[in-house]
Amino acid sequence: MIERNKRKIRIAFWAAATLLFLLLGISRPLLQLSESMTWTLFWVLCALTLIAWYLINQLWYLEFRKIVGALLPILTEEKDPDRYIAENEKLLVGKKAEQIKGILRMNICAAYCEKGDYSKAKEQLLALRPQKLYGIQRVAYLADLAYVYFYLDQIAEALDVMAQNKKGLSDFAQSPHLGGLIAVLQIFELLARGNVDEAKEALEKARERWPDSRYESDFLALEQKLHARESGNA
C-alpha cells in the first residue's frame, strides 16, 4: 500500500507540514503569541515533522522488505531466475537510496549466478557504490563480488576483495545468512593459494556444517577444481 502510493504520501505529508507552519505564522498575531513561544512551537513542529517522516519511511522500508522477501520463492522454489530478475528490476525503477538499490541489485546478481551468467552478475554489483553500503549489507556485497570474481577466474581481484572484507568474513562466518557463502569463499581462497589439502578438509567440514542445497552446486564445483588440481599435481 505504502509502496504503491509513496509519491502521493510524500506530497500529502509535506503539504500538511507546510500548512502547519503557515498556520503557526498566521496564528501568532491572532493568539498574541510571544516571540519565544512562537520559536518554541516552531521547533516542536520541526521535531514532530522529522519524527513523523522517519516513522513513515520506516513503515515503507518494512513493507518494501516484505515485498522483496515474497519474491524469493520464485528463485528458490520455482527455479525461475528470469522472472525473479524481472520482478526485482520492476522494484528498482525510480529507487535512489543506495541501500535499497543494493538489496535489489544483489538479488538480481544472485539470479544471474543461478543462471551461470557471472559476467552479468558482476555488472549488477559494479553498478553499486559500496562506500554507501554499511554493516552486514556491505559484508554481503563484498562476499558476492569475491564469489563472482572466483567463478570468472579473476583470482587476483577475488583475493583483493576478500582482503578488504577480512573482518566482515570473520565476524559473519557462522551467520545463518552468510556463513555458507563465506565457507565457499574460504575454500576458493585456499585453492587459489595452492593449499589443496587444507581446501579438501575445509570442503568436507563445509558440507557437514552447511548441508543447505543452496551451496551444493558450489561444493560440486569446488570438488571438481580439487580433483583437477590433484590430477595436475600427480
Domain membership of residue 179 (yes or no) is: no
The larger pLDDT score, comparing residue 138 to residue 6, is at 138
CA 66 to chain centre: 14
Residue 184 C-alpha cell reads as: 565457499
Mean pLDDT lowest among 16-20, 138-142, 190-194: 16-20
Residue at 133 is within a domain: no
Cell numbers at residue 98, please? 543506495
| pLDDT, tens only, 112-136 | 999 999 999 999 999 999 999 999 9
Would 52 be classed as within a structural domain?
yes
pLDDT over 70 percentage in the chain: 80
Measured between alpha carbons, how far is residue 38 from residues 20, 133, 166, 224 in Å?
13, 40, 54, 74
Query: pTM score, two decimals?
Result: 0.79
pLDDT tens digits for range 170-187:
999 999 999 999 999 999
Identify the pLDDT of residue 13: 59
Comparing 42-51, 153-162, 215-224, the range with the smallest average pLDDT is: 42-51
36 lies in which domain range? Answer: 12-109
Task: Output the pLDDT for position 228.
Answer: 86
Grid cell, residue 131, equals: 562506500
In a domain, 54, yes or no: yes
Taking the C-alpha atoms of residue 140 and residue 135, their distance in angstroms, rounded to an integer, is 9
Residue 34 forms part of a structural domain = yes
Domain membership of residue 191 (yes or no) is no
pLDDT at 2: 47
Rounded percentage of the chain residues whose pLDDT exceeds 90? 63
Mean pLDDT rounded to a whole number for the chain:
86
In a domain, 160, yes or no: no
Q: Quick one: pLDDT at residue 9? A: 64
Q: Distance (Å, rounded) from C-alpha 179 to C-alpha 168?
A: 11
Total domain count, the chain? 1
Distance CA 117, CA 136 (A): 25
Is the pLDDT confidence value at 4 over 60?
no
Q: Which residues have CB under 8 Å from 171's CB, separation 6+?
A: 139
Q: Nearest Cα to 139, choosing from 162, 110, 107, 111?
A: 162
Q: For residue 125, is it within any domain?
A: no
Residue 212: count of CB within 10 angstroms of its CB: 10
Q: Can you list the alpha helix ranges (DSSP code H) found in the chain?
A: 6-31, 35-76, 81-92, 98-115, 118-126, 135-151, 155-164, 166-171, 179-192, 196-209, 216-233
Closest Cα to residue 98, out of 90, 106, 87, 88?
106
